[in-house]
Structures are given as C-alpha cells and as structure tokens.
Amino acid sequence: MTSPSTQPGSPSLRAIETALARAATEVPALAPLLAAFGPLFAARAELRASAPGWSGPAPALDAERFTQGVFVLAQMEHGQGFQDMSAHLAQAAQTLLPVMVQSFPAVAQELNILSEAIASGALPLEDLAAAGFGETVQVPGVGAETLAFAASELVRPFVERQAQDLLALVKDLPWRQALCPVCGNAPDMSVLRRTSDSSEFIQAHGGQRFLRCSCCASEWAYKRVSCPTCGCEDPDGLMVLRAPIRLFERADACTRCNTFILCLDTGEMVDIPDLDVAALTMLPLELQAKAQGYAPLARHPWGDL
C-alpha cells in the first residue's frame, strides 16, 4: 500500500524552495525565520519521499461509522494508531538533527546531546517515537520543549506518508467534521481553492475550503462559513483579520469561542505555495490574532516566538 510521494528535485521540493525565496523577498522581516525553518521543511520533504507508507493490508473500515464522524485511526483494532516508525528514527535523526542544529543555534547543544543519546541507545527509539506523539520522555541535558519539538519533527515525515495512504481509503466518503478524518487531530490552517464542486455545503462563495491537519497534514473539505471549533455560522460571530497588502492571507476568528485559524486564499494564484511556508509567512497575522485575544486551533512550532 505504498507509493512514492516526493522525490528530491520533485515539484513538491521545488515548491518549497520557490516559496521560501519568494517569501523572503516579499516579507523581508521574516527572512531570518524563513532561513531557519526552510532547510528543515526541505529535509523533511526529502525524508517523507523515502518513508514507507502504510505497510501490509489496508485496514478494514466501516464506511457508515466514518460518515457519522468516526475517523480512520479510531476504527483501528486496539487503538493501534499510526504504524510504529521507531525503526526508522535513527536514520531520520541523522538526516534532520544536523539541519536543526544549524538552523536553531540557541538549542544546538541540546540537539547534539539528543543526537548522542539516540546514537548510543541511551534514548530507546520507542521512547523517541512516544515523545514525537506528545508523551513525556526525559533526556538529561535536553529541555522538555526542545525534545518535544525535535521528536515531533522526526516522526512527522512518517506520519504524513502513512496518512496519504489512509486518506486515499476514504476520499470518496463524506466527512463533515472539523477534525482530521485520518487521525482526529485539529487543523492548523485552511486553504481556499477554486474547484468544480457545486455543493452548497462546501463551495459557498469564493471557492472550496479545505482544512489541513496539524498532525498528519491531511486535507479535507469543510464548510466555507463556519468556525471549526464551535461550529458558529452567524456572520456576527465571525471575524476576518487581514493584512492590508497581502489580501490572500487572513485569519478567520470566532468571537464566540475566541479561536482562530489561518487561511490562504489561492483563488487568484497561478502558483500555490508550499503550505508550511505559507503558514510561516502568515506569522504576523497569527501574532495579530493572538494580540486580540484569540487562540489558535492548533499551534505551529514557531507560534510562541
């Protein structure tokens, strides 16, 4: 059940490089941040390209339960979740941690200690995988936030690659939930795209809205005018925050539950940027929304800067 996703030099990797170069020119204030996260985005894309997808038989899914809101991994026997990728994490660490050391000098010493702990076996790979999914793991000399950030980046290419296969199993089934149809996590951004879908539920005005999962990067169609947190559809309860120049970027906020989600409007775009780069480029909007008292549905790794 595996198939290639992204290869070095592929359109996806080129899209990252192109988006980074364009963003650094258009938003020079973010150039240092783009220079820090850009190499990580690129290295992660290459790692995802060679990562195994879902191995073995496709999981048996109940289509009726899915359409009622039971996401794919919630239907797995014994709460299996994503397949264990710990055997691949030593190689992933050799690929990503040196990039992170160069990109994030403030925590370089901690990342080097983490790398040594992985290489020596002092940190079992199963524990590293658990840390990547939010479990508390301790490594002497490595702060909890640094470990959580690094571990989540190490597991993410494998999670995203498996999710591609799982999402394909349900691509023709309706899903009207605000949480991910694959893993049940919250979205960290949304995208508006013009499509041929005429469904009033999805399309509304200005294109189809997709939410993107903060955990596995799966995308799914969702109502255009609706708060993904509380379901508010009252225009008086919904607010759009924009920058006066970059009108294709916005933050959709809800005054009822005080949450927001970033949104990229690609309706008039010829070249759609890589979504990780696009989300990073919208950091000023994210900070603006937080300053006005709104909280993100899911945080980005740079969100607390």
Q: Are residues 215 and 146 in the same domain?
A: no
Predicted confidence (pLDDT) per residue in 61-80, tens digit: 999 999 999 999 999 876 67
* 78 assigned to some structural domain: yes
Q: How far apart are CA 163 and CA 183, in angstroms?
A: 8
pLDDT at 14: 82
Domain at 194, CATH number: 3.90.1670.10
Entry pTM: 0.90
Is 221 in the same domain as 165?
no
Q: Are 7 and 49 in contact (CB under 8 A)?
A: yes
Q: Would 305 be classed as within a structural domain? A: no
| Number of separate domains in the chain | 2
Same domain, 96 and 196: no
Residues 240 and 155 in one domain: no
Q: Which domain holds residue 280?
A: 187-296
Residues of the chain with pLDDT under 70: 1-11, 78-79, 196-206, 303-305
- CA 50/CA 3 separation, integer angstroms: 10
Query: Quick check: is 106 in a domain?
Result: yes
* pLDDT for residue 207: 82
Shared domain for 152 and 290, answered yes or no, is no
A 10 A CB-CB count for 16 gives 23
Phi-psi region of 121 (alpha: psi -120 to 50; beta: other; left: phi over 0): left
- pLDDT reported for residue 271: 82
Half-sphere exposure of 183 (CA within 13 A, CB side): 23
209 and 255 assigned to the same domain: yes
Q: Are strands 295-296 and 259-265 parallel, antiparallel or unpaired?
A: parallel
Q: Token digits for 271? A: 């070249």
214 shares a domain with 92: no
Same domain, 203 and 149: no
Give the pLDDT of residue 199. Answer: 53
- Do 148 and 70 sit in the same domain of this protein? yes
pLDDT, position 3? 46
User: 91-143 pLDDT, tens per residue?
Assistant: 999 999 999 999 999 999 999 999 999 999 999 999 999 999 999 999 999 99
